[in-house]
Amino acid sequence: MTSQAFRTLIVASAAIAALSVAACSKKADESANTAAAEANTAAAAADTAQNAAATAAGAAADASAAAGNAAAPMEGNTTSTTTTTTTTGNAQ
């Protein structure tokens, strides 16, 4: 094998290796971009869920306050309960 043929073989091998690395890294870049897009989508969904939870907590606090106000008598007012028992039939 001559040195010219040997150099040609080395250059061709280097070119094939470079193409192989380029092809593999492009696919990795696409996979990374897809993963990043999916991560952004998941982060947006988590943010939406957090906002919904905060809204629900606020609504629960408002409902609790309203229930507390409805259960407590107004200041200065008094409440009384009268019970009447009626007996029917023969009482012995």
Q: Please report the pLDDT score of residue 69 as a whole number.
A: 76
Q: Please report the pLDDT score of residue 72 as a whole number.
A: 65
- Residue with the larger pLDDT of the pair 91 and 8: 8
C-alpha 18/C-alpha 7 separation (Å) is 16
At 46, the pLDDT band (50, 70, 90 cuts) reads: confident
CB 78 within 8 A of CB 72: no
At 73, the pLDDT band (50, 70, 90 cuts) reads: low
- Residue with the larger pLDDT of the pair 4 and 60: 60
46-56 b/e (C-beta count within 10 Å ≥ 16 → b): eeeeeeeeeee
CB 73 within 8 A of CB 79: yes
Taking 70 as the threshold, does the pLDDT of residue 9 lie above it?
A: yes
C-alpha 70/C-alpha 58 separation (Å) is 18
What pTM was estimated for this model as a whole?
0.44
Residue 80 has which token pair? 């009384």
